[in-house]
Structure 1
Amino acid sequence: MNRPATDLRDSTPNLQPQAGPRGLPWIAALLTMTFWASSFVVIRDVGEAFSPGPMALLRGASAAVVLSVWMLFRRPKFPTRAVTWLILILWGVAWFAAYVVVLNAAERSIDAGTAAMIVNIAPLIIAVFAGLVFGEGLPKRLLIGIVVSLLGIGMITAATFTGYFTIGGLVLSLVAALLYAACVLLQKHFLSRDDSVTVTWAGILVGALVSLVFAPGLVDEVAAAPVEMTLQVVYLGVVPTAIAFNLWGYALKFLPAGLLSSSSLVVPAVVVLLAWVVLG
């Protein structure tokens, strides 16, 4: 008897969170949010020396080098299915190239705190989509918490608003939020059952390779930029990318996408505080 055709959903792994070390995924999430918050401030600070594309390339290349060195001491566990590789490549381009370039561009015309607030509407998108499509459910407490947090973040951001704002910056921040949500959902749905370190490394390599189109501009800008500015972009690659995205991948293996993404609502508040201290 012929077997019926299997569609993509039939080959998708069980999406229920795995049982993991108690508390460790949340510690990983907290560190991730802290590191990601710092990236908004650094991007804003180095925006005068580096344009969006070259900054994305230097960030991605720095992350790729660090993780490639790590992989010399660790055996990669590559996905075995062709469809997973196709999704991984799409995810790498969207997350580590498109999202980074769009966010860099947004912060050239909007302040760091406002950009962080707009980008972090993504958790609401993720929570609703994951609840309706992935079967994670829509607990009232989660939705109420997200809405209240967004309102609170909006009040904080409004109170600290610098007046540096354009419609273009707003649109780019919204695009970044959509890319953020789409990439988290792709990772949770298709990639979270594979080795998170290998997946993150491969995605960053893909993003860095795509960003090579900005190489000529990067050479000119590194030559002209102060050394401390270049080191700040390298920091973006090492800490908020190489380290933070690995911590995020680890946490996503054990926690529901909607619940974990809601933790990123602390990011705008941290960004406002860091921007006040670092950027004045």
Structure 2
Amino acid sequence: MPSATHTRSMLLLLLTMTVWGSTFMVTKELIAVWPPFTVAFVRVIVGTLVLLPFALSRKTPGVRLPWPTIWLMGFIGVALYYLVFNLAMVSVSASQGALVQASIPAMTALVAVLWLRERASPLRWLGIALSVGGVLIVFSGSGSDGGESSLFGSLLMFVSVVCWGLYTALAKRAAGFDSLVITVAVTGTGSVLLLPLAGYEIVTANLAGNGLPPLPPIGWVELLYLGGIASGVAYLLYNASLRHLDASEVGVYTNLIPIVGVLTGVIVLGEPLSARAIVGGLVVMFGVWITSRSERPVAVTA
């Protein structure tokens, strides 16, 4: 029978995955009002500010952080990731975006094999191949559901998957440092890189004579939710749950992210979902499950 601590950790992890899974739907609603790069910048800077006090309390004096690696991680895993993610959400449904992103664990495994030269078992290769094949099936359903999903949007979302795989590989270079300190440093540098693009959107909107459209009250709540909760508090909950759970358990829970993403897109936004997208998503998740059987799951954040 699981202890109270173990049960609490599972509930924290379940809550975290639910929050991260809902970001597809929330982002979709926000970029219908504000331009995508501005939404990305505000999300990242708010998340950074929420985590900053915790990171400062844990930073060891005299320890020099690997800033070249941090800047590269900030570029690939924050700036570029959120740029293509939010841009994809302009032309792809939240549910289809979630299905494409379900392939992140398999893509991370592929990057580890090709870049880090990690050994791959036949089972691992099978899982990767199934996940990629599932994504191709999802692509084939783009636009066939009567909704707004486009092949271009799906391709952009897949680029975000590749960015996250590369970011995870880069993170291994900073594995010897406090994870929270590194995360705040990375999101901070990512914020700096996103600022010029957000500024360009704001200046362009002002030159057009209208400026940024006013966000309704629910829009401000969603923006704070993305930054403060999804990119801030959820990371703290995730770290807290990891102290009392095995890596295999964590891997199972991460598979909830695309499921929540699809459900919130279909139920909350009323998005249609093609049969090919559903089949492709199931193939992706089956491939991810096979991949996870041959390696320790990789931690994720959002």
With normalisation by structure 1, the TM-score equals 0.73
Post-superposition offset of 1:122: 2.4
RMSD: 4.0
- Displacement of 1:136 in angstroms is 5.9
Deviation of 1:121 (Å):
2.1
Deviation at 1:154?
8.8
Q: Secondary structure at the match of 1:107?
A: helix
Contact (CA 8 Å) 1:127, 1:262: kept in 2 or not?
no
Match of 2:41 among 51, 57, 62: 57
> Helix, strand or coil for the counterpart of 2:33?
coil
Partners of 2:111 and 2:165 within 8 A in 1: no
Write the letter of the residue equivalent to 2:195.
Answer: L
Determine the structure 1 residue equivalent to 2:261: 271
For the 8 Å contact 1:149–1:265, the answer to whether it is kept is: no
- The answer on 1:171 being equivalent to 2:161 is no
Q: Distance in 2 between matches of 1:247 and 1:239?
A: 10
Task: Please list, as runs of the form range in 1=range in 2, the aligned pairs for 1:216-231 lying within 5 A after superposition.
Answer: 217-218=201-202, 224-231=214-221
Kindly indicate whether the alpha-carbon contact (under 8 Å) linking 2:112 and 2:169 is maintained by their aligned counterparts in 1: yes
Shift of 1:45: 1.4
CA distance in 2, matches of 1:59, 1:142: 34
CA 1:228–1:80: 2 relative to 1, 3 Å: same
| 1:200 Cα offset (Å) | 0.9
The amino acid of 1:35's aligned partner reads V
Structure 1 stretch displaced more, 85-94 or 131-140 = 131-140
For each residue in 1:148-196, what CA deviation from the matched residue of structure 2 results, as whole angstroms up to 9, or x when unmatched?
Answer: 67888999996x9553222321221121111111111211x21222101
- Pair 1:93-2:93 in alignment: no
Deviations 1:36-83 (A, max 9, x none): 2111110111121111110011111211221224346x232479456x
Cα pair 2:45 2:227 within 8 Å, conserved: yes
Count of residue pairs brought into register by the alignment: 255
Matched, 1:202 2:185: yes
- Which one-letter code corresponds to 1:127 in the other structure? A
The match for 2:95 among 113, 116, 135 is 113
Using a 3 Å threshold, how does the CA distance of structure 1 residues 248 and 149 change in structure 2: closer, same or farther? farther
Q: Matched residues in 2 for 1:218 and 1:191: separation?
A: 35
Unaligned 5+ segments in structure 2 are 271-302
CA distance change for structure 1 residues 175 and 75 in 2, over 3 Å: closer, same or farther? Answer: same
- Please give the secondary structure, in 1, of the residue aligned with 2:91: coil
* 3-state SS of paired residue (2:58): coil
